[in-house]
Structure 1
Amino acid sequence: MATIIDNSRNAKIAETGQPRVVIVGGGFAGLELVKALRGTELQVILIDKQNFHTFQPLLYQVGTAAVEADSIIYPFRKIFDEQQNFYFRLAEVQSVDTVNQMVETSIGLLRYDYLVIATGATTNFYGDEVIQKNAISIKNIQDALALRNTILSNFEKALQIDDDEQLNSLMDYVIVGGGPTGVELAGALSELRKHVFPRDYKELDFIKMDIHLIQSGDLLLKGMSAEASQKAREYLESFGVKILFNRKVKAYDGYTVTLDNGDTLITRTLIWAAGVTGAPIAGLRKESLLRGNRLQTDEYNRITGYQNIFAIGDIAAIVTPDHPEGHPMLAQPAMQQGKLLGENLKRLIKNQPLHPFHYHDKGAMATIGRNQAVADLKIFKKEIKTQGFVAWFIWAFIHLISIIGFRNRLFVLVNWIGSYFTYDKGIRLILGKPKENIPVEAVTEKAVG
Structure 2
Amino acid sequence: MPGTTQLNLNIPDTTKPRVVVVGGGFAAVNFVKSLPGHQYQVVMLSKTNYFGFWPLLYQVATAGLESESIGEPLRQLFDGHEDFHFRSVAVIGLDPDQNLVHTAINDLPYDYLVLATGTKTDYFGNAEIEKNAFSLKDISEAVDLRNQLLRSFELANLTQDPAERQRLLNFVIAGAGPTGVELSGALAQMRSHVLPADYPDLDITKMNIYLVDGVDRVLPPMSAYASQHAHSYLQELGVQFKLNQLVDSYDGQTVKLKDGETLETRTLIWAAGVTGNLVAGLPDDRVEHGRYLVNHYNMVQGYQNVFAIGDVALMKTKDYPKGHPQVSPPAMQQGTHLAQNLARERRGEVWAPFAYLDKGTLAIVGRSRAVADLPGGFHLGGLLAWITWLTVHIYYLSGFRNKLVVTANWAYRLFTRQPGTRIILETNNQRSVRRPA
TM-score interval for Structure 1 and Structure 2 normalised by the shorter chain: over 0.9
- TM-score normalised to the size of structure 1? 0.94
AA aligned to 2:382 is G
Which of 46, 71, 88 does residue 90 from structure 1 map onto? 88
Q: Is the 8 A contact 1:55 1:73 kept in 2?
A: yes
Aligned to 1:353: 350
Counterpart-to-counterpart distance in 1, 2:320 and 2:149? 38
How is 1:236-385 mapped onto 2 (pairs within 5 angstroms)?
236-291=234-289, 293-378=290-375, 382-385=376-379
Which of 68, 71, 74 does residue 72 from structure 2 map onto? 74
Question: Post-superposition shift, 1:109?
Answer: 1.2
- Report the count of equivalent residues: 432
Is 1:397–2:394 an aligned residue pair?
Answer: no
- Report Cα offsets for 1:141-179 as digits up to 9, x if no partner: 011000111111111111211111100111110000010
Counterpart-to-counterpart distance in 1, 2:175 and 2:21? 31
Aligned to 2:415: 421
Question: Post-superposition shift, 1:371?
Answer: 0.5
Counterpart-to-counterpart distance in 2, 1:262 and 1:434? 33
Question: Post-superposition shift, 1:322?
Answer: 2.1
Question: Post-superposition shift, 1:434?
Answer: 7.5
Question: Post-superposition shift, 1:10?
Answer: 5.7
AA aligned to 2:108 is L
Aligned to 1:51: 49
Counterpart-to-counterpart distance in 1, 2:348 and 2:168? 62
Counterpart-to-counterpart distance in 1, 2:400 and 2:270? 32
- Report Cα offsets for 1:189-213 as digits up to 9, x if no partner: 0000010011111111011100000
Aligned to 1:5: none
Is 1:406–2:400 an aligned residue pair?
Answer: yes
Aligned to 1:25: 23
- Report Cα offsets for 1:35-61 as digits up to 9, x if no partner: 011344100111110111000000000
Q: Is the 8 A contact 2:37 2:84 kept in 1?
A: no
Question: Post-superposition shift, 1:438?
Answer: 8.2
What is the SS of the residue equivalent to 1:261? coil
- Report Cα offsets for 1:315-363 as digits up to 9, x if no partner: 0000123212211001000000000000111122344211100011111
- Report Cα offsets for 1:354-386 as digits up to 9, x if no partner: 1100011111010011101001112xxx33211
Counterpart-to-counterpart distance in 1, 2:299 and 2:383? 42
Aligned to 1:162: 160
Aligned to 2:125: 127
For structure 1, which runs of at least 5 residues remain unmatched after alignment?
1-7, 443-449
How is 1:113-262 mapped onto 2 (pairs within 5 angstroms)?
113-262=111-260
Counterpart-to-counterpart distance in 2, 1:438 and 1:220? 28
Q: Is the 8 A contact 1:153 1:434 kept in 2?
A: no
Q: Is the 8 A contact 1:254 1:438 kept in 2?
A: no
Counterpart-to-counterpart distance in 2, 1:130 and 1:38? 47
Question: Post-superposition shift, 1:303?
Answer: 0.1
Counterpart-to-counterpart distance in 2, 1:40 and 1:97? 27
What is the SS of the residue equivalent to 2:28? helix
Counterpart-to-counterpart distance in 2, 1:165 and 1:255? 11
Counterpart-to-counterpart distance in 2, 1:255 and 1:357? 47
Counterpart-to-counterpart distance in 2, 1:300 and 1:257? 44
- Report Cα offsets for 1:86-109 as digits up to 9, x if no partner: 110110100011111110112211
- Report Cα offsets for 1:252-275 as digits up to 9, x if no partner: 001100000000001101000001
AA aligned to 1:389 is L
Change (3 A) 1:439 1:399: closer
Give the root-mean-square deviation of aligned CA atoms. Answer: 1.6
Counterpart-to-counterpart distance in 2, 1:39 and 1:170? 53
AA aligned to 1:408 is N
Counterpart-to-counterpart distance in 2, 1:424 and 1:434? 28
For structure 2, which runs of at least 5 residues remain unmatched after alignment?
1-5
Q: Pick which of 346-355 and 310-319 moved more.
A: 346-355
Q: Is the 8 A contact 1:268 1:437 kept in 2?
A: no
What is the SS of the residue equivalent to 1:33? helix
- TM-score normalised to the size of structure 2? 0.96
What is the SS of the residue equivalent to 2:365? strand
Question: Post-superposition shift, 1:118?
Answer: 0.2
Q: Is the 8 A contact 1:10 1:110 kept in 2?
A: no
What is the SS of the residue equivalent to 2:374? strand
Change (3 A) 1:441 1:63: closer
Change (3 A) 1:288 1:240: same
Question: Post-superposition shift, 1:23?
Answer: 0.3
Q: Is the 8 A contact 1:302 1:309 kept in 2?
A: yes
AA aligned to 1:191 is Q
AA aligned to 2:106 is G
